[in-house]
Amino acid sequence: MYFGPEKYKSIEKIEFNSSELLNFLESKKDRLDVYHRHVAVVTCYSNEHSEINPTESQKKFPFFMNLLVTPSNEKLIGLSISNPMSTNPAIYKLQKMKDEENFKEKFKNFTNENCNLQCGIIKLPLKTRFVAIAGSDEFLKKEIFSEKVLGTESFSFAQKVDEKIIERLEKYKEGKFKICKTIINDEGINFFVIDRSVSDEFRPLLSEVVSLLRKKHNLSPAKYFALNEKVIGSFTLDFNTIFSENPFVQVEKLIEEYEMIKKDLIRHFV
């Protein structure tokens, strides 16, 4: 079974040996509450991957590749927005995998990039959205039904991702929109105003302008990211805005207003 855009349907063909992961799960069986609700996960991500500050030339594969195994040896492979072990900390981690190179090879064959790797045991449900997921029919049907009953999104999110949506996610996950850097995570679409045309003496004043405009448009500030840029201000759109016909219309208005106010202020003070 596969859910997601046609672009990534080839993950269905990726096969992997689950014996080391099953042994890892089995070794912790007596310590895991509701054992059958746990999975062993190998997460691979580009070793050039930066959640916070890529340049256009440095942008790498934007998603996390996850290879999962249940105690019943049901296998899944999926591409997620976030590292599952960052949104739902692993109960146990496997620090050194015997089969590590084989998993890294799966990632390289799929993305043509080298990767870093983590392995851990996580309790379901996972707390990141999957843009593509393939694997056991029975497991996916059961988990997606459970998510819909509980009103959560993880594996079920992939059902909503078509070619248009995946293109937007790839473009803005770690990208740019007008004078903003964009970072998409499971909490939303984050915008960081980085206006290189502004001299340092005007930054505090224009930072206040962005703050006032953010409040005017009823937007929340983005959470802290250690960007290697001088950020004037930030704001966040709800994640589901990505499905809108014109998702960033509110941001466009805010930036237009910012540019007009900036022009008037600089003309007044210079």
**Tokens describing residue 80:** 């997620």
| Claim to verify: residue 178 and residue 246 sit in the same structural domain | yes
Same domain, 36 and 156: yes
pLDDT computed for residue 170 by the predictor: 96
Segments forming the whole domain that contains residue 99: 2-161
Identify whether residues 43 and 156 lie together within a single domain.
yes
Domain termination residue (choose one: 137, 161, 185):
161
Q: What is the pTM of this model?
A: 0.90
Q: How many domains does the chain have?
A: 2
Domain final residue pick, 161, 193, 218: 161
Amino acid identity for residue 195 in this structure: D
- At 74 the pLDDT is 97
Do 27 and 106 lie in a common domain?
Answer: yes
Residues constituting the chain: 270
One domain, residues 187 and 222: yes
Low-confidence ranges of the chain (pLDDT < 50): 49-57
Residue of 98, 239, 255, 87 lying closest to 176 (CA atoms) = 255
Asked if 74 and 181 sit in the same domain, the reply is no
Please report whether residue 192 resides in a domain. yes
Looking at residue 157, the DSSP 8-state letter turns out to be: G
Residue ranges with strand state E in the chain = 2-3, 38-46, 64-69, 75-80, 92-93, 115-123, 130-135, 174-177, 180-185, 188-193, 233-237
Domain-embedded: residue 166 = no
Are 138 and 199 contained in the same domain? no
pLDDT per residue over 165-211, tens digit each? Answer: 999 999 999 999 999 999 999 999 999 999 988 888 889 999 999 99
Residues 156 and 178 in one domain: no
> Cα separation of 187 and 105, whole Å?
31
Together in a domain, 206 and 263: yes
The pLDDT of residue 200 is 85
DSSP SS3 for 131: strand
Domain check: are 198 and 107 in the same one? no
Position 137 scores a pLDDT of 95
Q: Do 193 and 131 reside in the same domain of the chain?
A: no
Final residue of a domain: which of 161, 194, 222?
A: 161
Is residue 207 situated within a structural domain? yes
Q: Is residue 6 part of a domain?
A: yes
Is 184 part of any domain? yes
Find the angle CA(140)-CA(145)-CA(146) to the nearest 5 degrees: 100
Kind and range of the H or E run holding 40: strand 38-46
Domain membership flag for residue 69: yes
Q: Which residues pair with 119 in a beta bridge?
A: 42
Q: What is the pLDDT of residue 155?
A: 98
Residue 167 lies in a domain: no
Task: Establish if 168 belongs to a structural domain.
Answer: no
d(CA 225, CA 71): 37
Q: Do residues 74 and 183 both lie within one domain?
A: no
